[in-house]
Structure 1
């Protein structure tokens, strides 16, 4: 088991139990207590849990239930609009663009209306934005409908992405950690995001300041795999510098 999967299981266990001791976690995951302590220390620094004497408890952020698409869309709307405007400016005519799951990517799609581009997506909100636009060639990936977040997910979506060769992918996330990890909080979305990264020549991360550090325990990728990061003025400057040091461009919308 990789360290990222082990840490995801720790958070999952705490979601169920609320709290656990180092000994309990070490026994259930079949690793040493010292390994669990290191995991808990890291997850505590990243805001995924709260370190307690002899164990850990779920942090308030991680304990929060998954929100619907509509609620997410209403949050930080001004910042998301600014990020979407800057992102859409990167798209040239005749490009093939993959738009990820999320509310920011719907706003990007809105700005691509009337453009001679190809848009590939598993985002049903993007479909709603572009379904009646004759200028855009729209390709909808297959999969299982996840109704509360207007997305298609699952093995069919991943299999379809293996057939895709795109110029750009606009990637969303739930958090960008100070250590440079780009994270999400749903496994079904994480696997699709990773497949999208593999399908595109350039990876553009769209993440407003609220995503620094955000939430999420599942690692999607590192900033070293991001070609361009588009964010807003309140994003953590040290994390942005990590992206630059890894060779990525940073744009403040």
Structure 2
């Protein structure tokens, strides 16, 4: 019996490593569903694999062996993580974009999901450094107008130049120069990590600088981030939590963490649940 259990454990760990190679990252909650074992079992497997030097544990999961603060999974790897949470966040954040507004969307899989919701908002001017986000709006225009924008209320899309990252964002001096000359009503910002100590952070130094310019050019900063981003710290910080006007996240964020967020961020919106107003207004309940 013991030998069989050990064999099953090794088979499970092999599947975890295969998933890691294919997707560039794994999450504990997704592995529990796929392998039909407990959260504790998966965490024990990750501990074993980490001791063997075959992966590196990070908050909520694992990445290929590398410095976790500098590891940056590709777009396809990240897009498969927390999909339902990202869709909930996108729907909740989309109501913050008013018709005719000038908005900016950073790179990332959550802003990509948000872009798909924003194609229904008329007459937006959209500035983005994300190739994927720009493609969403262009595809929507082709579907609705056959390539012609006249009278359709479709978005005007401005794609910055720059050097492409693994996340399909355009960063660097070219992107920074373009962004500095612009002013947005609202910035929708995806992040690699968010924490009280490090603020907003990313593993890519050039992307941190470009995000810094995005934040500086926005009248309102809305961060869209699922609960697994909380407590994650990338190599480079680019904004403090106090620079964030609104955080839109999902219901997986623990209630005690929501209380900590209220100390730093004006407004917390929990997608799929109840929006929580400014920290100074304590009447709202997490319910």
TM-score of the aligned structures, taking structure 1 as reference length: 0.72
Counterpart CA distance in 2 for 1:79 and 1:60 is: 22
In the alignment, what sits opposite 1:117?
124
In the alignment, what sits opposite 2:113?
107
CA positional deviation for 1:198:
0.6
Unaligned runs of 5+ in 2: 1-55, 59-65, 142-148, 272-287
In the alignment, what sits opposite 1:155?
173
> Would the aligned equivalents of 1:93 and 1:117 in 2 still touch at CA under 8 Å?
yes
In the alignment, what sits opposite 2:73?
67
Matches for 1:38-117 after TM superposition, within 5 Å: 60-61=57-58, 63-64=67-68, 65-114=71-120, 115-117=122-124
Q: How many residues align?
A: 195
Alignment partner of 1:201 out of 219, 236, 250: 219
CA positional deviation for 1:204:
0.4
Inter-CA distance 234–198: structure 2 relative to 1 (3 Å threshold): same
In the alignment, what sits opposite 1:129?
136
CA RMSD of aligned residues (A): 1.9
> Would the aligned equivalents of 1:80 and 1:208 in 2 still touch at CA under 8 Å?
yes
Alignment partner of 1:229 out of 247, 254, 268: 247
- Greater CA deviation, 225-234 or 64-73? 64-73
Larger Rg: 2
Inter-CA distance 197–178: structure 2 relative to 1 (3 Å threshold): closer
Inter-CA distance 172–247: structure 2 relative to 1 (3 Å threshold): closer
Query: Counterpart of 2:223 in 1: which secondary structure?
Result: strand
Counterpart CA distance in 1 for 2:227 and 2:109 is: 15
Query: Counterpart of 1:219 in 2: which secondary structure?
Result: strand
CA positional deviation for 1:180:
6.3
Structure number having the greater strand percentage: 1
> Would the aligned equivalents of 1:180 and 1:239 in 2 still touch at CA under 8 Å?
no
Residues 224-247 of structure 1: CA distance to partner in whole angstroms, max 9, x if unpaired? 110000011222444433432335
Q: 2:176 aligned with 1:172, yes or no?
A: no
In the alignment, what sits opposite 2:163?
144
Inter-CA distance 81–247: structure 2 relative to 1 (3 Å threshold): closer
